[in-house]
Amino acid sequence: MIKITYVTADGKEQPVEVEPGMSLMEVATLRGIDGIVAECGGGCSCATCHVYVDAPWHNTFEEPAPEEEALIEFLDEARPTSRLSCQLLLGAEHDGLCVRTPPSQG
C-alpha cells in the first residue's frame, strides 16, 4: 500500500492508502475526493481531473502526452506542475505523494 494526500482548494487534506497501479483520478473518484470531477471518466478529454503535483513529485511521472498538454494549455488556473490526474499512474515510488486541486473544476 502507498499513501497519497490530496489537498483541496480550501486547504483540507484528504489522505488515502491505495494499491499501486491505479490512476490518481481513479483513487479520487473512488474515495470521494473534493475537486476531482472526472466528467470523461479518464478519457483525457475534459480536464475536470486537473491537479497540481507537488514539485518534488512532478518528475516521478511520465511526460504528458500531447493530448494532455493541449487540455492543460487552455485551463485558466494552469501552473507548471499541472497535470490531469487520469493520466498519472501510481507506482510504489509514489508513496507519500501530495497533489492539490485547483480552485474550481467543471
Per residue in 24-40, pLDDT tens? 999 999 999 989 988 88
The CATH number that applies at residue 7 is 3.10.20.30
For residue 105, tell me if it sits in a domain.
no
Alpha helices in the chain (DSSP H): 24-31, 55-58, 66-73
End-to-end CA distance of the chain: 30
For residue 106, tell me if it sits in a domain.
no
How many folded domains does the chain comprise? 1
For residue 89, tell me if it sits in a domain.
yes
| Tens-digit pLDDT profile for residues 29-68 | 999 998 998 888 888 888 999 999 999 999 999 999 999 9
Classified as helix, coil or strand, 34 is coil
Cα–Cα distance for residue pair 99/88, rounded to 1 Å: 11
